[in-house]
């Protein structure tokens, strides 16, 4: 799929601020792909698709996720998680994306999961560290991504867990699995 067509679709479907975020995620994902030996075109495609469903009404997201049998069991959690699985369905059905790695990167960019591919990790991290993100700790996450994909995944998944716990939000099991799996793969504090 041509990046220019995906950009046009993203711009059409998303508010301006969200579209700008998508462009920054795509740029960040390509940098990370180059740094860590992933296909840059796949990274750009996944990044341009990752938030395609973000602005859809909650009812439409629910309908799409239900139509797939809720494959990542997100419907019992906050609706902010629904756009990942719905976006993967849209990427497949409306844009003809058949690459399982790209579809998984879109599907799991909000929760992460155990056993993530390099591309999935890149999209998960790029979404969190793109230059427009300015939450406390964002710079430290960017520094981790300069050094190691695995350490960046540990740091980003830990940040997600800490944030969700701080606002007393339910934590999706895939997010916990992502964190635990990333510790076993990387150099978490207990493994050093």
Contact, 118 vs 152, CB < 8 A?
A: no
Over 60: is that where the pLDDT of 98 sits?
Answer: yes
Distance of CA 11 to the CA centre of its chain: 18
Nearest to 156 by CA among 131, 134, 129, 180: 129
pLDDT at 190: 47
Alpha helices in the chain (DSSP H): 3-13, 16-36, 40-49, 58-67, 83-95, 100-107, 118-129, 138-147, 149-166, 173-185
Instruction: Using a pLDDT cut of 70, give the percent of the chain over it.
Output: 96
Query: What domains appear along the chain, each with residue ranges and CATH number?
Result: 3-135 (1.10.3210.10)
> What is the tens place of the pLDDT at every residue in 76-97?
999 999 999 999 999 999 999 9
- Mean per-residue pLDDT over the chain, rounded: 94
pLDDT, position 185: 79
């Amino acid at each position: 799929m041509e990046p220019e067509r995906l950009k046009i679709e993203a711009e059409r479907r998303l508010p301006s601020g969200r579209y700008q975020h998508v462009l920054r995620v795509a740029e960040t994902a390509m940098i990370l792909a180059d740094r860590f030996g992933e296909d840059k075109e796949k990274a750009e495609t996944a990044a341009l698709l990752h938030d395609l469903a973000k602005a859809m009404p909650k009812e439409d997201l629910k309908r799409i996720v239900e139509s797939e049998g809720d494959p990542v069991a997100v419907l019992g959690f906050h609706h902010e998680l629904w756009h990942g699985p719905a976006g993967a369905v849209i990427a497949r059905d409306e844009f003809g994306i058949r690459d399982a790695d790209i579809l998984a990167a879109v599907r799991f960019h909000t929760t992460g999961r155990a056993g993530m591919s390099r591309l999935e990790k890149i999209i998960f991290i790029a979404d969190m560290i793109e230059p427009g993100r300015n939450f406390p700790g964002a710079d430290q996450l960017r520094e981790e991504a300069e050094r190691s994909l695995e350490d960046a995944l540990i740091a980003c998944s830990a940040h997600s867990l800490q944030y969700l716990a701080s606002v007393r939000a339910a934590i999706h099991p895939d997010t916990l699995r992502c964190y635990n799996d990333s510790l076993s793969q990387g150099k978490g504090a207990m493994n050093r």
